[in-house]
Structure 1
Amino acid sequence: MVKRLRTRKGASVETGISRRNFLIAGGITALSATRVLGANQTLRLGVIGAGGRMRGLLDAAERTGVPFEIAAVCDVYAPRCEEVKQRSRATDATVHHDFHALLDDKTLDAVIIATPDHWHVRIAEAALASGKDVYLEKPVTHTLEEGAVLLKAVRSCKQILQCGTQQRSWSHFRNAVSLIQGGALGRVTQVRTYWWQNYDVSWVPKPVDVAQLDWKQWLGGAKDQPFDLEKFSRWRWFWDFGGGAMTDLFSHWIDVVHWAMKANEPSMATMLGDKHVFTQWDCPDTIQAAFRYPGFDVVYEGMMSSSIDDGGLEFRGTEATLKLKRSGMSLWRESVKSNENPVLKEDSFIDGTVTHMRNFFDCVVSRQEPNAPVEAGIAAANAGHIGNLAYRKGGLTTWPVKGSGK
């Protein structure tokens, strides 16, 4: 595949990063995200949580070209287990109702966890303790307190844990971070993040055969409550199971901000949120939020009943602005005429989930640190939790919370 990168004739980045060097850097970062795995090593994987996100992860895994087999699958809803078994090379996979039984399989090299958020740390901790490497979907934690638990679990063992913030392995995101850290934008004092989705169009709950679902097991440590299709299908929007847009969508973008700006904890958060459309949810469907970091601010806006413009980030500096989406990036200079901007543009050529999964597989073999280490995943989740804390406290919070010791 050929990466498509365009610059205006005669334009320069003016930071010592020439177009040729930028192309070379792009090649280096892309290669570092897709190291070569031994051709004769077939990885045995366990799948825990076999819903829609897992389907996407397995699709990406198949596109890596890495030889693997799905050896075991666990889900509390039986039809989902059968769906995974029907995938190529998965027909002999063992099926489990309880994740502990899957983890007892000593032949598994690694597990992929894509359950609702409230199960993430509990399952990841058990998987690491059983000697399995882990790919853990984001957000890696459901509460602020769980961060210390997960960090200890990872750093007290020799296992690999890759957090599911795939931008860390996406070549144009890696190039964007290099530009920002190289000074191409001047001094960055504001980062705008946004994400709009339309659940009325993109995610309509499908009927569930309750007779094949262990609802009590799905609830886990959450309070007992009757089955509800909305909660089962759109669990992210209920505090018992998820954290709404702040831990789902925002966590992706704030991870990129932390990475690029080398700062991973806000000192203050304010959040205005409302339930204008999806009044049955706990979490707001419409959000404006702002976070103060050392020397710069981050803003986020989004809603769940309009998808025009999708999601992205804008790093605004004194010399240039970098606009970044999953589809690519562009750099706009303050000193260049509008009809000559952007001075640099790069289009995405592959879904970063593929290269991120490839990086995980490579690290399982090499035992190297993955692109998205546990500390980064915890910091991204924490920012979302802090935003939600501000919302639930009336719109504003400082961090650490005064008098809490946290």
Structure 2
Amino acid sequence: MGWSDLKAALKVPGVKLIALCDSDANVLDERMAELKSMNIDAAKIKRYKDYRALLDNKDIDAVIIGTPDHWHALMMIHAVQAGKDVYVEKPVGNSIVECSIMVKAQERYNKVVQAGQWQRSQQHFKDAVDFVKSGQLGNIRTVKVWCYQGWMKPGPVVPDTLPPAGVDYAMWLGPANKRAFNASRYHFNFRWFWDYAGGLMTDWGVHLLDYGLLGMNSPVPTTISALGGRFAYPELYEETPDTLTTLYEFDKFNMVWDSAMGIDNGPYDRNHGIAYIGNNGTLVLNRQGWEVIEEKVSGNKVSKPFVKSSDNGLDNHMVNFFNVVRSRKKEELNCAIQDAAHVATVAQMGNIAFRSGKKLSWDNAKHKFTDQQVNDKYLLAQYHNGYNLPKD
């Protein structure tokens, strides 16, 4: 994600790349070669393996954080403390408490922080939500959100090894629990291990749940329950579920998250999407476009033919970020840290319901579950190896 983000950033007029940071020197070598192929003078770009040294560089105005999820909070907080504006990938935090502290840090240091939920900058998503909010669908009682990813498959079981040459594995682990290096937990596959991420729920889920919530004015669930497991690939190496169904109860509607790896045939013939189901019709939305399917019974039927996506959400999102970096009008961000923290928190609620095996009630005034044992075990990510999460 970080490389895609960087390429989008370099399309924005006036943006200059002066440094790259990665704990894997092999990745830095690859990126330098790719930059040369883009006619960028890579010799002038500084290389770092420790992000803290990069943040000390006074020539840097803004940073892009595209790391495994368990690093997002600490890097974002340290970046705003260092006076940098930040584009941080989703999910913004790997725990509910991290999300809250990231918001506090942005507000304390007053820096521009945009989250990488680029669908917020894609016009057809905005148009679809406007239609939902117009009331034409009637009473919306159910919102379905799903992600069926046939191409995604966790890595095979392989033995632990020494880290490859060029990899600073201690830096890659950072605050995560110390474990031996294993290729099945590294690079892309970090997504399937609780120490580093939250599976499909926090990978694709924050993109899709975000719009499920946005169309309903971003409420907070009252109860959360989840069922799932490793049903598709029980023999493989991942910890997160490859199959998961989560029910979020709100005051006036329910929202269902449904995900499966190794399957592409999802609801409404789409492998991912959001469906707002109303008395008059159902609006179905995904990255390809949106349509309204009329209700078969209602007398106030509404329908709309498929509207195809026609723009590049990631490119738009980067333009929005740098426009705000220049203007300092943070209210114009398409996905401020406050918005991203809300949906990341909702996604984490679903994972915690699954991991605890309980139907959970959320106390929004106290910003925690009513079950203190669950709070103690899951609300805050555990930091190790001498790292500590700042309080703000």
**Structure 2 counterpart of 1:81:** 28
**Structure 1 counterpart of 2:105:** 153
Q: Is the 8 A contact 2:295 2:302 kept in 1?
A: no
* 1:332 shift after superposition: 2.2
Counterpart amino acid of residue 51 in structure 2: F
Relative distance call for 1:239 and 1:155 in structure 2 (3 A) is: same
User: Partner of 2:215: helix, strand, or coil?
Assistant: helix
Separation (CA, whole Å) in 1 of partners of 2:30 and 2:149: 27
Q: Is the 8 A contact 2:148 2:263 kept in 1?
A: yes
User: Partner of 2:325: helix, strand, or coil?
Assistant: helix
Separation (CA, whole Å) in 2 of partners of 1:326 and 1:67: 29
Equivalent residue in structure 1 for 2:225, among 270, 279, 284: 270
**Structure 1 counterpart of 2:88:** 136
**Structure 2 counterpart of 1:213:** 167
Relative distance call for 1:201 and 1:118 in structure 2 (3 A) is: closer
Relative distance call for 1:212 and 1:364 in structure 2 (3 A) is: same
Counterpart amino acid of residue 239 in structure 1: W
* 1:272 shift after superposition: 0.8
Q: Give the fraction of aligned pairs with identical amino acids, expressed as a percent.
A: 31
Separation (CA, whole Å) in 2 of partners of 1:203 and 1:330: 36
Task: Please give the TM-score of this superposition, normalised by the length of structure 2.
Answer: 0.84
- How many pairs align? 351
**Structure 1 counterpart of 2:312:** 351
Query: Which digits, 9 at most, give the CA deviation of each residue in 1:229-249, with x for residues without a partner?
Result: 011131111111001111111
Counterpart amino acid of residue 315 in structure 1: Y
Counterpart amino acid of residue 345 in structure 2: N
Q: Is the 8 A contact 1:208 1:229 kept in 2?
A: no
**Structure 2 counterpart of 1:364:** 325
Separation (CA, whole Å) in 2 of partners of 1:379 and 1:249: 15
Within a 5 Å distance, the mapping from 1:219-258 to structure 2 comes to 219-233=173-187, 234-258=189-213
Query: Which digits, 9 at most, give the CA deviation of each residue in 1:278-327, with x for residues without a partner?
Result: 54211111111111122111111111112343211101111221110100
Within a 5 Å distance, the mapping from 1:257-296 to structure 2 comes to 257-276=212-231, 277-278=233-234, 279-296=236-253
User: Partner of 2:172: helix, strand, or coil?
Assistant: helix
**Structure 2 counterpart of 1:396:** 359
Task: Please give the TM-score of this superposition, normalised by the length of structure 1.
Answer: 0.81
Within a 5 Å distance, the mapping from 1:21-32 to structure 2 comes to none
Separation (CA, whole Å) in 2 of partners of 1:90 and 1:291: 50
Separation (CA, whole Å) in 1 of partners of 2:323 and 2:305: 32
* 1:202 shift after superposition: 9.9
**Structure 1 spans left out of the alignment, 5+ residues:** 1-52
**Structure 2 counterpart of 1:41:** none
**Structure 1 counterpart of 2:255:** 298
Query: Which digits, 9 at most, give the CA deviation of each residue in 1:1-59, with x for residues without a partner?
Result: xxxxxxxxxxxxxxxxxxxxxxxxxxxxxxxxxxxxxxxxxxxxxxxxxxxx1122123
Separation (CA, whole Å) in 2 of partners of 1:329 and 1:271: 28
Deviates more, 1:280-289 or 1:87-96: 87-96
* 1:67 shift after superposition: 3.0
**Structure 2 spans left out of the alignment, 5+ residues:** 364-368, 380-392
User: Partner of 2:264: helix, strand, or coil?
Assistant: coil
Q: Is the 8 A contact 2:12 2:318 kept in 1?
A: no
Separation (CA, whole Å) in 2 of partners of 1:59 and 1:367: 23
Relative distance call for 1:265 and 1:336 in structure 2 (3 A) is: closer
